[in-house]
């Protein structure tokens, strides 16, 4: 019940943030473009921002925000590939951004409009997937791990093998995320989550098909909700989503498996054809304010790339001390980024299509 209350509250706040047009007499700290009466169109993951941040931006700059959600990287790509329907800011992950850069789907940022870049931790600046942060700025980061109900499992878990243990037959959810879930299986089998080897990709496909009786459903970005409702007992899930659910349900747990997992950085970028580029850059700079970034991280429980927010004590201490949110070096050593695999993506798409067909039969 408390979990449901949280989502009702979130939905109400979200509507206020997304639909209100609020004027304010205060003067923005730094205004490089006239924004009054403008509309900023945002496309982000669900449950991935503190609603008060949207409200504050609207009040400060006297603008309206239209806020839409996607539930997978594939949905984001599919929405934008035919042409931008009108979004100003999007939130792809690292490997998806690289693909979008390669396909001309995002445009360069005006670095002079984003001075708050100075607050970022060095490892999130000038990265291999976006040298010089030409196209993006980091938003939040996290891991994929196992979310589970400890009453159902009878004790803690520490391995991806639990998802395929026969004792959980029909009680497992898998994310309907091609690179995420395939990457998880590849890691468990001892391969890179970004392999381009057809044999290794097909081994991951065959492994999933062999264990199809364990899987109750492929789910969108809602595994934590199904856990809370006892529809499933364990799933692969994003770290922050699980920690949000754990606040309301003491039976839920999250673990980074001993075999390692994928780590990702979600980014803020401007898609080609954005109608309000300068306002989008203003929003990105606003998000990189230490207090704003900390407000988001403290609400959604993902890792913050904002070093100033951490060093100034703006991030909740319990999150900073949680090794599943900010992993120590020995865990970091087992984390792998998912890379853009270029033409080999067709191998993943084909394997995933065969997996889904096997489950449907």
pLDDT at 34: 52
4, 5, 59: which is closest to 27 by C-alpha?
A: 59
Q: d(Cα 91, Cα 76) in Å, to the nearest integer?
A: 9
> What's CA 308's distance to the chain center, in Å?
22
Q: pLDDT per position in the chain (361 positions), as tens?
A: 334 334 444 444 444 444 433 333 332 333 345 555 699 999 999 889 999 999 999 999 999 999 999 989 999 999 999 999 999 999 999 999 999 999 999 999 999 999 999 999 999 998 999 999 999 999 999 999 999 999 999 999 999 999 999 999 999 999 999 999 999 999 999 999 999 999 999 999 999 999 999 999 998 878 899 999 999 999 999 999 999 999 999 999 999 999 999 999 999 999 999 999 999 999 999 999 999 999 999 999 999 999 999 999 999 999 999 999 999 999 999 999 999 999 999 999 999 999 999 988 7
Placement of tokens 């595994």 in the chain = 223
DSSP string, 132-200: GGSSEEEEEEEEEEEEEEHHHHSS----GGGGG-GGGTT-EEEES-HHHHHHHHHHHTTS-TT---HHH
Residues 195 and 51 in one domain: no
- Both 231 and 190 in one domain: the answer is yes
Q: Which backbone phi and psi does 44 adopt, to 5 degrees?
A: -140, 165
CA gap 303, 224 in Å, rounded: 18
Specify whether 22 is located in the same domain as 120: yes
Same domain, 152 and 111: no
Considering the domain architecture, whether residues 290 and 214 belong to the same structural domain is answered as no
Range of the domain at 195: 143-263+327-360
| DSSP calls for 251-297 | TEEEE--TT-EEEEEEEEE-BTT-TTHHHHHHHHHHHTSHHHHHHHH
| Count of domains forming the chain | 2
pLDDT at 18: 41
* Assigned token pair, 91: 């939130």
- pLDDT recorded at residue 37: 63
For 28, phi then psi, to 5°, come to -60, 150
Residue 360: predicted pLDDT: 84
Cα 222 to Cα 244: distance, rounded to the nearest angstrom: 12
Say yes or no: 209 and 348 in one domain. yes
Q: What is the pLDDT of residue 79?
A: 97
Tens of pLDDT along 270-304? 999 999 999 999 999 999 999 999 999 999 999 99
pLDDT attached to residue 257: 96
Give CA–CA dist 300/44, Å, rounded: 13
Judge if 293 and 258 occupy the same domain.
no
Say whether both 229 and 271 belong to one domain: no
- Tell me: the pLDDT tens digits for 304-351? 999 999 999 999 999 999 999 999 999 999 999 999 999 999 999 999
What are the DSSP calls for 198-248, one per residue?
A: HHHHHHHHHHHHHTGGGEEEEESTTHHHHHHTTS-SEEEEEHHHHHHHHHH
Report pLDDT for 220.
81
Instruction: Answer yes or no: do 241 and 342 share one domain.
Output: yes
* pTM given for the model: 0.85
Judgement on whether residues 182 and 206 belong to the same structural domain of the protein:
yes
Residues 237, 130 share a domain: no
- If we measure between CA atoms, which residue out of 215, 213, 188, 183 comes closest to residue 201? 183
Residues 286, 210 within the same domain: no
The CATH number of the domain holding residue 347 is 3.40.190.10
């Amino acid at each position: 019940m408390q979990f449901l209350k949280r989502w009702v509250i979130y939905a109400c706040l979200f509507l206020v943030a997304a639909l209100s047009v609020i004027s304010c007499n205060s003067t923005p700290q730094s205004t490089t473009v006239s924004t009054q009466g403008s509309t900023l169109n945002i496309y982000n993951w669900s449950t991935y921002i503190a609603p008060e941040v949207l409200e504050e931006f609207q009040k400060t700059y006297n603008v309206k925000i239209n806020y839409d959600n996607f539930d997978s990287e594939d949905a984001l790509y599919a929405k934008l590939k035919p042409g931008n329907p009108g979004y100003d800011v999007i939130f792809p992950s690292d490997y998806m951004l690289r693909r979008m850069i390669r396909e001309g789907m995002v445009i360069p940022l005006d670095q002079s409009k984003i001075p708050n870049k100075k607050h970022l931790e060095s490892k999130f600046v000038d990265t291999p997937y976006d040298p010089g942060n030409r196209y993006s700025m980091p938003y939040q980061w996290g891991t994929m791990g196992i979310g589970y109900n400890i009453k159902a499992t009878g004790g803690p878990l520490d391995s991806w093998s639990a998802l395929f243990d026969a004792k959980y037959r029909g009680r497992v959810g898998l994310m309907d995320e091609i690179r995420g879930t395939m990457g998880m299986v590849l890691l468990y089998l001892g391969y890179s989550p970004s392999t381009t080897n057809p044999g290794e990709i097909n081994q991951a496909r065959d492994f999933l098909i062999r264990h199809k009786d364990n899987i109750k459903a492929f789910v969108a970005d809602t595994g934590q909700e199904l856990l809370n409702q006892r529809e499933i007992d364990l799933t692969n899930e994003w770290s922050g989503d699980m920690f949000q659910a754990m606040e309301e349900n003491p039976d839920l747990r999250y673990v980074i498996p001993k075999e390692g997992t994928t780590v990702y950085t979600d980014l803020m970028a401007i898609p080609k054809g954005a109608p309000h580029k300068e306002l989008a850059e203003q929003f990105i700079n606003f998000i990189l304010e230490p207090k704003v970034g900390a407000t988001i991280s403290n609400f959604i429980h993902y890792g913050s790339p904002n070093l100033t927010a951490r060093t100034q004590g703006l991030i909740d201490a319990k999150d900073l001390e949680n090794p599943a949110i900010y992993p120590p070096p020995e865990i970091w050593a087992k984390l792998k980024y998912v890379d853009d695999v270029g033409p080999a993506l067709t191998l993943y798409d084909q394997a995933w299509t065969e997996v889904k067909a096997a489950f449907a039969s």
